Structure 1
Amino acid sequence: MSSILFSVESNTAFLTLNRPDKLNSFNREMALLLQEKLDECENDNSIRCIYLTGAGKGFCAGQDLAEVVDPNGPGMQKILGEHYNPIVTRLRTIAKPVVVAVNGVAAGAGANIAFAGDVVVAAQSASFMQAFSKIGLIPDSGGTYHLPRLIGAQRASALMMLGDKVPATDALQMGMLYKVFSDDTFADESKKIAATLSQMPTKALGYIKQALNHSAGNSLQAQLQLEDEYQQKAAGTKDFKEGVQAFLEKRSPIFKGE
């Protein structure tokens, strides 16, 4: 059985972390395969949204520690440089919306990979944990970048140092997530979000993502200039023309991601 399940339906790519007996903790095989599948999603123009979730009871428990202590394993430098950093970079730079559907526990790198998504939702029974300090490590996988921007420096610092388990409802209140759904409705509701995004003007969504990637480090004037550049690109798309025409004709637009 593949460690990454992959399918495409109605312009949405469904990626499932599939090591349920290990709470979908990452080993080298799964990390490299996820990168490969994300590259496929980026290069396939028929895919207009990516939906990432986990199999079984957990989303992702982070790194498989058995691989870390294996003397023949890849070692920490490769695990970060060849596994997690490329995954997080892909999630943030791929010019398509990424919905992360956190179905269960998201710990360590699993939590921080989730925070790299564009729309992050969780089941009510899900939880998040910066588990690194429990074993004498620091947060990686972009955690020290994304989490303070989501919830503020004080809360991020406390959660990273104490390693508290944060229930999904608390994570929502803090600003880590977009929405929390009941366990019974989670799969359907999260897939509805992906279905909506897959029919929207894909290029414009990609420009939004790129603009947001720059906003934290830009001055106001630099960001205004960047908005101008991306707006000109968006205005040159076929979907913009369709959106305006549909508005004038008082009908629903039919976007094609072009």
Structure 2
Amino acid sequence: MPFTSLGLVPEAGSTKLFPDLVGYQRAAKIFMTGESFGADEALAMGLIAEIASDAEKAALAIAEKIAQQPPKAILNTKALMKAGSHDAVSAVMLAEFQLFALALQSEEAAEAFMKFMSTRGK
């Protein structure tokens, strides 16, 4: 995730959601270094549930299993899982937006973008 490499900050709630999913230390390392990761590492971090050679087929199989469950139980479970995080994520997204907007206007970001663009053709 190259945010900091470009002189920016993470956005879209990722500073709340990503550490919640993969742990603070891993998220900090990825955010602060700009390192990328592949499917195997995403699986090991718990970021994804499985790696499928045919993603569409795997998604349809999961959807079929969910569709066989009692609908109200599924809806209520989803609501409960989302209930505690909505306000926290909204607050984080607002803070991220404000810092992202400031970072976009900074000399640091301009220099980082120029450096990034100069290395793209090499």
- TM above 0.5, yes or no, is yes
Structure with the higher helix share, 1 or 2: 2
* Alignment root-mean-square deviation, CA: 2.0
- 2:25 pairs, out of 154, 167, 172, with 154
Q: TM-score, normalised by structure 1?
A: 0.31
Provide the C-alpha distance between the structure 1 equivalents of 2:21 and 2:84, rounded to a whole number of angstroms: 13
Structure with the higher strand share, 1 or 2: 1
The residue aligned with 1:145 is 16
Per-residue CA distance 1:28-58 (angstroms, 9 max, x = gap): xxxxxxxxxxxxxxxxxxxxxxxxxxxxxxx
Provide the C-alpha distance between the structure 1 equivalents of 2:33 and 2:71, rounded to a whole number of angstroms: 40
TM superposition shift of 1:216 = 6.2
Provide the C-alpha distance between the structure 2 equivalents of 1:131 and 1:192, rounded to a whole number of angstroms: 34
TM superposition shift of 1:195 = 2.3
Q: Which has the higher contact order (CA 8 A, sep 6+)?
A: 2
Q: 1:206 to 1:131 in 2, by over 3 A?
A: farther
- 1:166 pairs, out of 21, 28, 37, with 37
Runs (4 or more) in structure 1 with deviation over 4 Å come to: none
Q: Which amino acid aligns with 2:75?
A: G
Q: Which amino acid aligns with 1:204?
A: A
Provide the C-alpha distance between the structure 1 equivalents of 2:79 and 2:4, rounded to a whole number of angstroms: 32
Q: Runs of 5+ in structure 1 lacking a partner?
A: 1-129, 218-258
Equivalent pairs counted in the alignment come to 86
Provide the C-alpha distance between the structure 1 equivalents of 2:4 and 2:85, rounded to a whole number of angstroms: 26
Matched, 1:199 2:91: no
- 1:213 pairs, out of 53, 59, 82, with 82
TM superposition shift of 1:146 = 1.1
Per-residue CA distance 1:193-217 (angstroms, 9 max, x = gap): 1222233222212211222224569
